[in-house]
Structure 1
């Protein structure tokens, strides 16, 4: 099975990816007594007809004693089709790279490309796996007494050589498909990083606006305290003699806040090393008995019921056993 993809314009002149599947099913039956092989190809008429023509074109009467004589021709047609589909996905990727600014915020189209690439890569892997199985069974056939004593053994080895060559071709196609997948992942990362950079620029602009108003707001807040008194009739400002109390409280509080922000986690690690551990969380919960449960590897949740109290414990990234 192979997936064909192409880019078209929809009714609104928007880029859209169209695709269709090409599938080939083959049933072979070999009669050892007269070296007769019955082959049935179906599921995709055009490709089945193309594969049938290839089998008839490459037929060698001296290879008919090998039940695998038809497989190299079929695999070759499929490998060539894989080559075409990988180039088609590569063209989609290259078009995206050349028109990166145009597709910058078209996340839907960006996700369509790796979706189709995943299918193309999967089919290449499947083809390689099937071809490996064919080679394994053909080697078993070559090891049998009938094949070992047959005069046209060299022709059977020629079939094995063709299968080996096709296996190398499919492996190379898989590497190309993996390369395309790595490139689209890089494009997705770049697109998301650009979006994050734009968001960061917007946040910096908002922070700058806040910074412009912050000094004036701070000054206004100080002069609005009870330490200042404005006498309207005389127009005289009066400053309280206890204004030092404001600085005595504000300065240490600011220092403590800044130190806590930068050095709070380090201090907590030294004073209470287990504060990050889930065991510390469990010790803080007032539950003398919790049902014994085993958690899965990924994120999950446990609801333990004790004394009519419901506790929710969130887990992340590792297996834990709670008793």
Structure 2
């Protein structure tokens, strides 16, 4: 008879670095009652499905205390990794009970944008006695709000999930630890409980379709959130015409959203690869029919296809925002160009008159007011002798000056650029 143990976040879990209000315990109890009411669907095949909760400490885990937790087929533990890292006793308990890999505690894993790891637990003869797997997902949520000055502003927050699973081949027991984001961890825990199939418990990867499905749904939400930001900009382009800071914020967040979709797709590929490895090396005689395990792979394949399509949607959003940025900057350049053309036209209107006034103001011309007689100096040719060569030198320097400087003094650009 499958025996499921759900360990909720509770004040008595302070030794694990876990502290939460009683509200979550009440929510868990409501969930337990709901599962008990639906237990009939388990009676036909394998008997009654039992879900219980316990309060355990780090000492209880280290002493292997005989509890419901010790005999359960599936356990779900909620924890906060940062607080456990600070508690040596708690970290020791988790290491010894769940065989959490050393790399999981490192800063490298803590700062990573996502990963999946898998390891077989082997006896001295090289026979698989269990498996350990660990996964990290991250999703960026974005939304538009009004700041204190009623100006549009984009806010964001990260949703993270770290999970470690340990599977025991002798009794098909699965221990699941869900770290980090409390609400999302509980959502994943509920999904795992909802999707449990006793015939699949012999496959340590049975937990991942439920997790990946929740992640894929969250990616879908955040991709549409960025799409809504983009659509709002498209519809109100004139309003945001010169708000370049806001236009810069949209692709900045969209880059992170796209990155996380790519990472999730990569993680899912790794999960599928290691699941195929497990199927290829699983030689257990008393294992359930392999078709149930192949169904897990089929669900992973389907989710991979969905995530890939979400990536295409994210890429489409990115192409759209790049188009909007190009259009906005082109409009700004067109406005600047119009202003420059106006200034150039004014210059053209005044330039001939200014040129004539400059020439007649020189001493080459002399006007005698009493007699009204104009006199031109016989040395007026000197003006043209200087002006024409100087003009020629200026034009030649403009077109051929950089080429000549590159040959004469190759380092000159470093001084002027």
TM-score normalised by length of structure 1? 0.77
On the 8 A contact 2:261/2:311 being kept in 1, the answer is: yes
On the 8 A contact 2:200/2:288 being kept in 1, the answer is: no
Label 1:171 to 1:204 Cα distance change in 2 as closer, same or farther (>3 A). Answer: same
On the 8 A contact 1:142/1:148 being kept in 2, the answer is: no
SS at match of 1:101: coil
Give the stretch that moved more between structures: 174-183 or 253-262.
253-262
* Aligned equivalents of 2:401, 2:253: Cα separation in 1: 48
SS at match of 2:203: coil
Displacement, 1:253?
Answer: 4.0
* Aligned equivalents of 1:163, 1:172: Cα separation in 2: 14
Label 1:75 to 1:147 Cα distance change in 2 as closer, same or farther (>3 A). Answer: farther
Q: Report Cα offsets for 1:154-201 as digits up to 9, x if no partner.
A: 111111111111111111111211221122122222222222222222
* Aligned equivalents of 1:35, 1:151: Cα separation in 2: 10
* Aligned equivalents of 1:196, 1:224: Cα separation in 2: 40
Q: Report Cα offsets for 1:202-261 as digits up to 9, x if no partner.
A: 222222222222111111111122221112332211112333443344345434543554
Label 1:102 to 1:274 Cα distance change in 2 as closer, same or farther (>3 A). Answer: closer
Displacement, 1:46?
Answer: 2.1
* Aligned equivalents of 1:71, 1:203: Cα separation in 2: 61
Aligned residues: 280
User: What is the match of residue 179 of structure 1?
Assistant: 316
* Aligned equivalents of 1:10, 1:249: Cα separation in 2: 64
Displacement, 1:265?
Answer: 6.1
* Aligned equivalents of 1:25, 1:40: Cα separation in 2: 8
User: What is the match of residue 276 of structure 2?
Assistant: 139
SS at match of 1:135: helix
- Show structure 2 runs of 5+ residues with no match: 1-137
Q: Of the candidates 51, 62, 65, which is equivalent to residue 188 of structure 2?
A: 51
Displacement, 1:7?
Answer: 1.2
On the 8 A contact 1:141/1:147 being kept in 2, the answer is: no
* Aligned equivalents of 2:274, 2:410: Cα separation in 1: 60
- Show structure 1 runs of 5+ residues with no match: 281-321
Give the stretch that moved more between structures: 90-99 or 116-125.
116-125
On the 8 A contact 1:7/1:18 being kept in 2, the answer is: yes
* Aligned equivalents of 1:143, 1:175: Cα separation in 2: 32
* Aligned equivalents of 1:256, 1:139: Cα separation in 2: 76
Note the aligned Cα RMSD (angstroms). 3.3
* Aligned equivalents of 2:409, 2:159: Cα separation in 1: 63
* Aligned equivalents of 1:52, 1:99: Cα separation in 2: 41
Give the stretch that moved more between structures: 16-25 or 251-260.
251-260
Label 1:137 to 1:10 Cα distance change in 2 as closer, same or farther (>3 A). Answer: same
Label 1:250 to 1:3 Cα distance change in 2 as closer, same or farther (>3 A). Answer: same
The yes-or-no answer on 1:193 pairing with 2:330 is: yes
* Aligned equivalents of 1:71, 1:274: Cα separation in 2: 60
